[in-house]
Structure 1
Amino acid sequence: MINKNVKLVAVDMDGTLLDSEKNAPEDFESWVLAHPEIQTVLASGRQYATLSDMFPSLSECLMYVADNGSFVFKQGEMIYSNAMSDEDIRWCIEYFGAMPGLHLILCGARAAYMKHASELVESNGHMYYHSLEFVENLENCIGKDIIAKIAIFIEEYRAEEVYDSLSGIPETIAPVLSGDSWIDVANKSVSKGSAMEAIQQSLGVSREESMAFGDYLNDYDLLLSCGESYAMENAHPKLKGIAKHVTASNDEDGVMKILRQIPSSVEPPQMQ
Structure 2
Amino acid sequence: MVKIIAFDLDGTLYDKHKHIDEDTIHKIIDFEQKGIVVGIVTGRFYEELGEVIEKIKLREYNGFVASSNGLEIHDFLDGEIRRFSRLSKDEVKEAKKHHLVSYVWQNGGYTMFGVSILDVVKKIFSLIPLDLHYIKSLQKTKFEKDVVLNEALYDKVCFVGFQIKKMYLEYRFYDVGKFGTELCKKDVGKLEAIRYICQKKQVSIFDVMAFGDHGNDVDLLASCGYGVAIKNGSAQAKKAAKYISDYANNEQGVLRFINSFFV
Asked if TM exceeds 0.5, the reply is yes
> Is residue 147 of structure 1 aligned with residue 129 of structure 2?
no
Match of residue 46, structure 1, among 37, 44, 47:
44
- 1:37-84 deviations in Å (ceiling 9; x for gaps): 111111111111212223424141331110111111133955211132
Quote how far apart the aligned CAs of 1:142 are: 4.0
What does residue 186 of structure 2 align with?
188
What does residue 86 of structure 2 align with?
84
> Is residue 23 of structure 1 aligned with residue 19 of structure 2?
yes
What does residue 246 of structure 1 align with?
244
- 1:19-49 deviations in Å (ceiling 9; x for gaps): 2232212222222322221111111111112
Q: Say if 1:15 and 1:170 are closer, same or farther in 2 by CA, change over 3 A.
A: same
Assess if the C-alpha contact under 8 Å between 1:63 and 1:74 holds in 2: yes
Distance in 2 of aligned mates of 1:249 and 1:235: 8
Q: Say if 1:65 and 1:127 are closer, same or farther in 2 by CA, change over 3 A.
A: farther
Q: Percent identity?
A: 23
Give SS of 1:141's match. coil
More helix by share: 2
Tell me the amino acid that sits aligned with residue 245 of structure 1.
Answer: Y
Give SS of 1:42's match. strand
Tell me the amino acid that sits aligned with residue 6 of structure 1.
Answer: V
Assess if the C-alpha contact under 8 Å between 1:208 and 1:227 holds in 2: yes
Q: Say if 1:137 and 1:59 are closer, same or farther in 2 by CA, change over 3 A.
A: farther
Match of residue 12, structure 1, among 8, 12, 16:
8
> Is residue 34 of structure 1 aligned with residue 30 of structure 2?
yes
Quote how far apart the aligned CAs of 1:224 are: 2.3
Quote how far apart the aligned CAs of 1:238 are: 1.5
What does residue 74 of structure 2 align with?
73
Assess if the C-alpha contact under 8 Å between 2:9 and 2:42 holds in 1: yes
Q: Give the structure, 1 or 2, with the largest relative contact order (CA under 8 Å, sep 6 or more).
A: 1
What does residue 127 of structure 2 align with?
none
- 1:79-122 deviations in Å (ceiling 9; x for gaps): 21113242xx423423x324445122146xx845514746956x
What does residue 220 of structure 1 align with?
218
Give SS of 1:27's match. helix
TM-score (normalised: structure 1): 0.76
Assess if the C-alpha contact under 8 Å between 2:112 and 2:144 holds in 1: yes
Q: Which runs of 4+ in 1 moved over 6 A?
A: 132-137
Quote how far apart the aligned CAs of 1:181 are: 1.6
What does residue 114 of structure 1 align with?
111
- Once superposed, what is the RMSD of the aligned Cα atoms? 3.2
Paired residues for 1:174-213 under 5 Å: 174-213=172-211
Q: Say if 1:150 and 1:125 are closer, same or farther in 2 by CA, change over 3 A.
A: farther
Assess if the C-alpha contact under 8 Å between 1:197 and 1:225 holds in 2: no
Distance in 2 of aligned mates of 1:142 and 1:55: 25
Aligned residues: 242
Assess if the C-alpha contact under 8 Å between 2:38 and 2:58 holds in 1: no
Distance in 2 of aligned mates of 1:55 and 1:135: 32
Q: Which runs of 5+ in 2 are unaligned?
A: 125-132
Q: Which runs of 5+ in 1 are unaligned?
A: 265-272
What does residue 270 of structure 1 align with?
none
Assess if the C-alpha contact under 8 Å between 2:39 and 2:58 holds in 1: no
What does residue 63 of structure 1 align with?
64
- 1:248-270 deviations in Å (ceiling 9; x for gaps): 21122111112235669xxxxxx
TM-score (normalised: structure 2): 0.78
Distance in 2 of aligned mates of 1:194 and 1:185: 16
Give SS of 1:72's match. strand
Distance in 1 of aligned mates of 2:71 and 2:137: 19
Tell me the amino acid that sits aligned with residue 252 of structure 1.
Answer: E
Distance in 2 of aligned mates of 1:82 and 1:244: 28
